[in-house]
A and B are shown apart, each in its own frame.
Chain A
């Protein structure tokens, strides 16, 4: 059973597109990266899964239960960190967290203090006195204190300084090792690359690729740079070659296909330098968006 199973989920806001025909699965114990630029439909997808909004068509199941019908039951096991956190402003952090904890069975006081200490969060302050980054920390503690089985993180690192980001990633890894499944939405590819096992790429509301992050890097594209004295870039222009650039006697391009064909092409040249490397996720991503 998949932890999240999304089937042809579609959402229109009136006539404007939210997401179209989105399908994917997230398995237990995975960290699933969900990437795409702003407005691609990442938050829409998450909000549909949390039944904050309802789909135009299609369905979604979490823990094998219909996301809408069983929303309240499902949400007992879910932690959610929205991209922008808003809490009741006139409350103190500690009261807000206790309020949140009171909705979940069991006593979560110890975990709450542990998380707050780890994230260096001052529990005595009022929500409206907090900076953006500190509100985000409240969000992290609030999202994790009831030990959820599934975490939705929507651009979680915005507002956190690099040190806190690292601590946060460490926290997510620990949670994941305990068996927590993570749905990690972001447009910052470096962090997705660092954390995730699998990624889904969403573009203009549609999924364009779902793949293992390693496969995505290894099997798809190679980033090739060739330096040679006499070089005609048209020489490399063939099927599978994209983004061909030529400057100062150096040719750069991306290649997808049987690497032997390129190696043979290169071997017939008198080259001064060759590098063949895996593109970063960012480069793959940009590729999907051109």
Chain B
């Protein structure tokens, strides 16, 4: 428990910074929306754009002039921001002990390495939840002036649930990289590289039928905001796939961290 609390405190500042970033993002995003809101000219512009481009940025399914449509677009960016935060936290929680050379203290205490991972991972999950609630709260506050209907709130709630799964997924991948890589400096970079690579896969997978298989490789394709908006559900196959990746990453983290030499 003591590791958990210390970790929670130590990373609190990072949570605050990310919360400010996300809140600002929502604010700026919604202020742009005020120009689209109920604006038929905007629809005309979008209709004139090439369908492939709209598809690539996942904009075809949404009517940008409605609040729900706009948040459908926002979902992609929420997913990116929250995933980046989770991947960075995940890769950092273990590797920072080596970077700051505190392993000779923290791992000479009578704790097992797996206990350390568990405590730190739980603290990071709490931070992810914190950031998610900030995103949720900021969205609700920003949407208020447009008198959202009940459907908007349930759409938003579906978004948040899927964002949480994405956060956990990238957190787990980050933790695995931090645990497995002895070159602690590269763990964070590797986590971000994985994230960006899968994000670009999600963009190009929509461009061509032959690239469709990429949707299995890109977590950003696991949750389709269009499906959430129009059918109020997720595709369970992808939820299960996400859970599987989380479990495998965490198992990998426990196995590799317990066996490797710490970098001192």
Task: Spell out A's residues near B (CB within 8 Å).
Answer: 13, 47, 50, 52-54, 71-73, 75-76, 78, 80, 82, 84-90, 99-100, 102-104, 142
Shortest CB-to-CB span from B96 to chain A, Å, is: 10
Query: Which residues of the other chain, A, contact B259 by a CB distance below 8 angstroms?
Result: 54
Q: Is the CB of A99 within 8 A of B262?
A: no
Q: Is the CB of B111 within 8 A of A86?
A: no
Q: Is the CB of B10 within 8 A of A88?
A: yes
Shortest CB-to-CB span from A98 to chain B, Å, is: 9
Quick one: CB contact mask for B97-139 with A, threshold 8 Å, 1 for yes? 0001111110111111000000000000000000000000000
B2 within 8 A of A: yes
Shortest CB-to-CB span from B16 to chain A, Å, is: 14
Task: Spell out B's residues near A (CB within 8 Å).
Answer: 2, 6, 10, 100-105, 107-112, 259-262, 264
Q: Is the CB of A75 within 8 A of B108?
A: yes
Shortest CB-to-CB span from B1 to chain A, Å, is: 9
Give the CA-CA distance A87 to B100 in the complex, in Å: 8
Pick the contact of B2: A76, A78, A103 (CB < 8 A). A103
Number of A-B pairs, beta carbon distance below 8 Å: 58
Residue with the greatest number of chain A CB neighbours at <10 A, chosen from B103, B107, B109, B264: B109
A-B contact pairs, 10 of them (CB 8 A): A47-B264, A52-B264, A53-B262, A54-B261, A72-B111, A84-B101, A85-B104, A86-B100, A90-B10, A100-B109
Q: A80-B104, A86-B100, A100-B105 are in contact. List 8 more A-B contacts (CB 8 A).
A: A52-B262, A75-B109, A84-B101, A86-B104, A87-B102, A99-B2, A102-B2, A103-B2
Give the CA-CA distance A107 to B111 in the complex, in Å: 18
Give the CA-CA distance A94 to B111 in the complex, in Å: 21
Q: Is the CB of A52 within 8 A of B104?
A: yes
Q: Is the CB of A86 within 8 A of B6?
A: no
